[in-house]
Chain A
Amino acid sequence: TFPQSPRWKKEDVTYRILNYTPDMLQADVEEAIAKAFQLWSSVTPLTFTRLYNGQADIMISFAAGFHGDFYSFDGPGGTLAHAYPPSTGIGGDAHFDEDENWTKFTTYNGFNLFLVAAHELGHSLGLGHSNVFNALMYPIYMARDTRDFRLSQDDIDGIQALYGPPRESSGLPTKSSPPQEPTEMTPAEAPTEMSPREEPTETTPTKTPIRPQDCDPHLSFDAITTLRGETLFFKGSYVWRKSPYFSDIEHDTISSFWPSLTAGFDAAYEVDKKDRVLFFKDDQYWAVSGYSIESGFPKPIQNLGFPTSVRKIDAAVHDQNTKKTYFFVGNKYWSFNENTQSMERGYPRKIASDFQGIGHTVDAALQKNGLFYFFHGSNQYEVDIKNRKLIRTMKSNSWFNC
């Protein structure tokens, strides 16, 4: 909570939407905000009534840059919104940065208004930030599925410390709400909440495999790709990040970069000219640009021209010189023309016939400084495809200064 834990000293709180973002339909803005209030009313005795004029407790508005308070917005990205703790005047008000691209979808091409509004309204009710990673009140924006979005236990504990749990009622809505804009969910609809006194049932944490040592001689990888000059090595949910500027290897997880991508990539490659990395898993693929995942994904790999008999890809690498991307499946490979976005004729071909010394499946592939690196288990094969020469064989983790 904020210093001195300010809270509304009443249970029926009012709000007013002062203006709208042109990014969304007005009805969608209203629905996102109503849904955000419902999250909090479902776990507290609070009710939220919308006013259409005059002064409401929580005034909601969109604005860009300097907008009349001491906390100007900063253009696209960075700060998305802010809100004031309960008090008179500006207290409780929530401001959203109009320089952002607001959306009602769970997309990566903009910020979901429901998620950000639910967070900011937590501030409007008196909650500070949480350092619990999946909590709604965690300060960093995370795109996630909003269909049956639930508050985390930390959020519930926080808000109920201020207002207590929802009031038990005899099943009838305690307040008649105008039909077009329900201000309160009737208890029957309220999600059953674990009351604070019930001990959370102990869920046995699923056993995630521990990260292998960097210099484990048996280390193998699921996929490898370059990304803006760096090289990322993937295995399960783990990422090893190698930068040309720092000698040490950074250890991350896939979810810390792309929270909604499931771990265990089959293949990955970068088309650096488009600042785009593609990830493959089973018969689907995703395209990302930095942190943001392009909208409209995942897509089926058949969109790239694979026959339906191909259920997954072993490895992929993009040749920055020829603009061709090579996809490896079993002992064969395809060549995909990134300019025409189509598979080349005469494929698939045998890997061994065109890539010297690579007579087996390929786990991962990489192009660096014009040379190709094909990974199979804990070994790696450096190949000069122009001169059709296998240069050397190394350990897969030779990149980690072992």
Chain B
Amino acid sequence: FPVVTEKEKEDKQFAKKYLEKFYDFKEEKNSLFKSKNLNHMDDKIREMQSFFGLEVTGELDRKTLDMMKKPRCGIPDIRSYS
């Protein structure tokens, strides 16, 4: 696999925070199955992509990242706001 560049790590971290804040993504800290987390995050990326009418890929593509970086309101986009 290609080495995950520093930038990609940063982008992933940024996306994780964004999804936690606005899409109720919860990283299962003690999850044995790392892949479980990843799938969960992919689902959340899809949810965000479909909200903004982006191509729903579940991947952190550039358009998705661009949208995440735009100035916005601090309220979550999905209704499970607690």
- Bound form: Cα–Cα A77–B53 in Å: 23
Q: Which of A67-98 contact B (CB under 8 A)?
A: 71, 73, 77-83
Contact B73 A79 (CB under 8 A): yes
Asked if B27 is an interface residue, CB under 8 A from chain A, the answer is no
Q: Whole-angstrom distance from the CB of A132 to the nearest CB of chain B?
A: 10
Residues of B within 8 A of A83 (CB): 75
Contact B74 A128 (CB under 8 A): no
Contact with B along A92-121 (1 / 0, CB 8 A): 000000000000000000010000100110
Contact A81 B71 (CB under 8 A): no
Contact B74 A3 (CB under 8 A): no
Asked if B77 is an interface residue, CB under 8 A from chain A, the answer is yes
Residues of B within 8 A of A120 (CB): 73
Asked if B63 is an interface residue, CB under 8 A from chain A, the answer is yes
Contact A131 B73 (CB under 8 A): no
Asked if A291 is an interface residue, CB under 8 A from chain B, the answer is yes
Contact A140 B74 (CB under 8 A): no
Q: Whole-angstrom distance from the CB of A115 to the nearest CB of chain B?
A: 11
Q: A3-B80, A131-B53 are in contact. Are A78 and B71 (CB under 8 A)?
A: yes
Residue of B nearest to A84 (CB): B75
Contact A131 B52 (CB under 8 A): yes
Asked if B9 is an interface residue, CB under 8 A from chain A, the answer is no
Q: A123-B75, A131-B52, A243-B62 are in contact. Are A3 and B70 (CB under 8 A)?
A: no
Q: Whole-angstrom distance from the CB of B59 to the nearest CB of chain A?
A: 12
Asked if B67 is an interface residue, CB under 8 A from chain A, the answer is yes
Contact with A along B28-44 (1 / 0, CB 8 A): 00000000000000000
Contact B63 A139 (CB under 8 A): no
Asked if A23 is an interface residue, CB under 8 A from chain B, the answer is no
Contact B71 A80 (CB under 8 A): yes
Q: Which of A123-148 contact B (CB under 8 A)?
A: 123, 128-129, 131, 133, 139-141
Contact A141 B62 (CB under 8 A): no
Please pick, from B51, B75, B79, the residue contacting A82 in the complex, using a CB distance under 8 A: B75
Contact B53 A139 (CB under 8 A): no
Asked if A66 is an interface residue, CB under 8 A from chain B, the answer is no
Q: Which of B1-55 contact A (CB under 8 A)?
A: 21-22, 51-53
Please pick, from B67, B75, B76, B81, the residue contacting A140 in the complex, using a CB distance under 8 A: B67
- Bound form: Cα–Cα A139–B62 in Å: 19
Q: A3-B81, A131-B52, A140-B70 are in contact. Are A246 and B62 (CB under 8 A)?
A: yes
Q: A83-B75, A139-B77 are in contact. Are A133 and B70 (CB under 8 A)?
A: no
Contact A119 B62 (CB under 8 A): no
Asked if A11 is an interface residue, CB under 8 A from chain B, the answer is no
Asked if A2 is an interface residue, CB under 8 A from chain B, the answer is yes
- Bound form: Cα–Cα A3–B80 in Å: 7
Residues of A within 8 A of B71 (CB): 77-80, 111, 140-141
Please pick, from A2, A80, A291, the residue contacting B74 in the complex, using a CB distance under 8 A: A80
Residues of B that sit less than 8 Å from A by CB: 21-22, 51-53, 62-63, 67, 70-77, 79-81
Residues of A that sit less than 8 Å from B by CB: 2-3, 71, 73, 77-83, 111, 116, 119-120, 123, 128-129, 131, 133, 139-141, 243, 246, 250, 252, 291
